Amino acid sequence: MVTGGAGGGERGAAELLVTTAPDAPAALIARARVIAKRCGALFSPRRASVTRLLRDTGRVHAYIVGRERDELRGGDEILWVHPGLFYLKREAGATHPLLRALAPEGEPPPRAIVDATLGLAGDAIHVASALGARVIGCEASPVLASLLEEGLPRLAKGGRGWSEGAARVELRAGDALATLSGLEEGAVDAVYLDPMFEAPLAAQAGFDLLRAYAVHAPVDAALLAEAWRVAARRVVLKLPGMAAPPEGAPGPGWTRRVRGQAVDYAILER
């Protein structure tokens, strides 16, 4: 859901505390220290409640390295990597708008896709599960990448409907443009872009926390050009419903559009 560039991720780091579950073993403490350094955040041992730690340190949000999962807390919100609306999306089958955009009927299923704006990997897990594709997921926010680093392997081991899909998602922490630049021409079948919308749509609990630490950047000409170079079949861009895609698209320009309920998918197609 996010891509490279300046924005919320940099602003949020000054408000972030990293700690652990109570009485954490050495391995969790070591991981918490690594995450704090990665995110430019303050680390504090867990010597009190999260509420008290935040008050004593003057921080607003807490990243907690727990025994069962990592999570981000702020106010009444909690954010962690979970399957989200996986089963609801799966019920739509091949008629789901994202699948129709990425893999039109009559084509061989894609083998590899880049999700250049991974977010918490809900779309990537859905796509990997439904299409059987490997998904390279780029996440520029160090906070969200840290959540994914813990969460994707956890979901992959669960033996649930989403587990095989989660196992096919390969996290690439860092800027999407840099990741794409390191791939060969036509290296994947499709590249998917889901930038953070300026006006947020109705969303699941925790979305305000996600926006606080996501790296906000528009899809610019350089990113589109690299996505087009790497994609052997198409580039798919999620947009608010009825919104116009950016101008200056490479190749033949925007050739197709798939409409959903609240969002649309604009497509550059070979």
CATH number of 8-79: 3.40.50
Q: Is the pLDDT of residue 51 over 80?
A: yes
Mean pLDDT of the chain: 92
Cα–Cα distance for residue pair 227/176, rounded to 1 Å: 9
pLDDT (mean) for 124-128: 97
Proportion of the chain above pLDDT 70, given as a percent: 92
Nearest to 113 by CA among 252, 251, 232: 232
pLDDT (mean) for 67-96: 91
- Considering only residues 77 and 199, tell me which one the structure prediction assigns the higher pLDDT: 77
Residues 157-167 pLDDT 10s:
988 999 999 99
Entry pTM = 0.92
Looking at the chain, which residues constitute the CATH 3.40.50.150 domain(s)?
86-269
CATH architecture of 86-269: 3-Layer(aba) Sandwich (3.40)
Cα–Cα distance for residue pair 194/214, rounded to 1 Å: 12
Cα–Cα distance for residue pair 125/120, rounded to 1 Å: 9
Cβ(222)–Cβ(229) under 8 Å? no
Q: How confident is the model at residue 89 (pLDDT cuts 50, 70, 90)?
A: confident
Q: What is the pLDDT of residue 158?
A: 80
Residues 202-212 pLDDT 10s:
555 567 899 89
Residues 233-258 pLDDT 10s:
999 999 998 899 999 899 999 999 99
Proportion of the chain above pLDDT 90, given as a percent: 79
